[in-house]
Amino acid sequence: MVDSPLSKGEAGVSLRGMLLVYPHLNFFSLSPYLCGLLWLALLVSYLCLGQTFLSQTRLPTPRIYEQIKSHQKGLAVWWVGNAGWLIKSDDILIATDLDLELEEKIYEPPISVEDLAKILNVVFVTHHHGDHCNAYTLKLLAQRSNCIFVLPQTCLDEEPGLSISQERLIVPQPLHPFDIRGIHVEPIHAIHGNQDFTVLTREKDFIKGIMQNCGYVFTIQGKKFLHPGDSVLTEEHLSLGHIDVLFVSPTVHNMFVDRSMILINQLEPEYIFPQHFDTYRQTPDNMFWTKGYPDELKLKLSKSLQNRYHKLSQGEMFVIQ
Ligand SMILES: [Zn+2]
């Protein structure tokens, strides 16, 4: 009761009431009230400062810039939070769905945009939502790097101020493959889910999203990587055939545990990396997209698939053999 905003409000009213009823009260007779008020003010500022402190502190992650730079041979991946991955193939570095902004983050992203800008060759984005198409990150990359941007039309419509020149821009379309920096890219459909395991239809142009948003199959050094973006499970996913490396999102608004399991059992990838969890601070309203169930998913898999399942921490490097 003491800490509730209501009790603080009530204390203010009672002091005002005292002054109206007893205008002759002097400072000394008021002092217990002033004292109470002072304590209350202290308590409020303590609580406010505590909130600010909590929202500004982030857990540390390993700094990966030097490690990425020194990796010059073979294939390696680093998770940088949410659906963000850095994939290095010899000396070529590509990235997916980068959000390196600090806002709402539980962990400090393991690399700054400024550092990444020095070494990044291509960035792929799957769709227009801020946790995938992050304007802060993309704008800085446009200014500070020479990288190529692969951005679906929905991203360009949602973020018209990215200032990316035409020569650096590829607008992918599902089922229209292309090659870039020695990587074969097959964009596939991504159909965005939402709260309560539904398909997202509340955005007024959701049909455009279904037509233009992408998941990606990358062929790099002969290995096939699948990054589905944010999508419910589709027939297209299940008909992909052989996939070596799968990034999978066991959240309510993606494939959750059951459909992630169906996808994994169908594709039997050599490497399975869960994503879209433990990145943003959770609230009851955002849990459908901030909370993932990577441990629950692992428990549903066979022993041999469990051995191929790697829940990385942010900034952890993993070498693909
Ligand atoms: Zn997302």
State in Å: Cα 174 to ligand 1 middle: 18
Check whether 2 has a pLDDT greater than 50. no
> Rounded mean pLDDT of the chain?
89
State in Å: Cα 275 to ligand 1 middle: 10
Q: Do 102 and 112 form a contact (C-beta atoms < 8 A)?
A: no
State in Å: Cα 1 to ligand 1 middle: 38
State in Å: Cα 30 to ligand 1 middle: 56
Structure tokens at 276: 């879209």
Burial of residue 99, with CB atoms counted within 10 A of its CB: 0-12 exposed, 13-18 middle, 19 or more buried: buried
State in Å: Cα 296 to ligand 1 middle: 19
**How far apart are the C-alpha atoms of 112 and 101, rounded to whole Å?**
9
User: Which one-letter amino acid corresponds to residue 122?
Assistant: V
Q: Confidence class of residue 217 from pLDDT cuts 50, 70 and 90?
A: very high
Residues within 5 Å of ion ligand 1, judged at the Cβ atom: 131, 230
Check whether 317 has a pLDDT greater than 90. yes
Q: Which of 212, 201, 209, 264 is nearest to 238 (CA)?
A: 264
Q: Which of 160, 67, 56 is nearest to 115 (CA)?
A: 67
Check whether 128 has a pLDDT greater than 90. yes
State in Å: Cα 33 to ligand 1 middle: 51
Of the chain, the percentage scoring pLDDT greater than 90 comes to 82
Q: Which residues is 182 bridged to in the sheet? A: none
In order of 54, 76, 97, 300, 302, the CA distances from 123 in angstroms are: 31, 16, 8, 33, 34
User: Which one-letter amino acid corresponds to residue 232?
Assistant: V
pLDDT confidence of residue 5: 34
How large is the average pLDDT for residues 293-315? Answer: 98
More confident position, 8 or 57: 57
pLDDT confidence of residue 39: 73
- Per-residue model confidence as pLDDT tens digits over 164-213: 999 999 999 999 999 999 999 999 999 999 999 999 999 999 999 999 99
Residues sharing a CB contact under 8 Å with residue 275, sequence separation 6 or more, in sequence order: 79, 82, 83, 85, 247, 248, 249, 292
Q: Confidence class of residue 48 from pLDDT cuts 50, 70 and 90?
A: low
State in Å: Cα 129 to ligand 1 middle: 7
Check whether 53 has a pLDDT greater than 70. no
State in Å: Cα 57 to ligand 1 middle: 23
pLDDT confidence of residue 140: 97
Check whether 150 has a pLDDT greater than 80. yes
CB atoms inside a 10 Å sphere around CB 36? 13
State in Å: Cα 133 to ligand 1 middle: 9
Check whether 10 has a pLDDT greater than 60. no
Check whether 257 has a pLDDT greater than 70. yes
Q: How far apart are the first and last CA of the chain?
A: 59
Q: Which of 3, 12, 15 is nearest to 44 (CA)?
A: 3
Q: pTM of the entire structure?
A: 0.83
Q: Confidence class of residue 42 from pLDDT cuts 50, 70 and 90?
A: low
Angle, helix 27-56 to helix 5-21, in steps of 10 degrees: 160
Q: Do 143 and 118 form a contact (C-beta atoms < 8 A)?
A: no
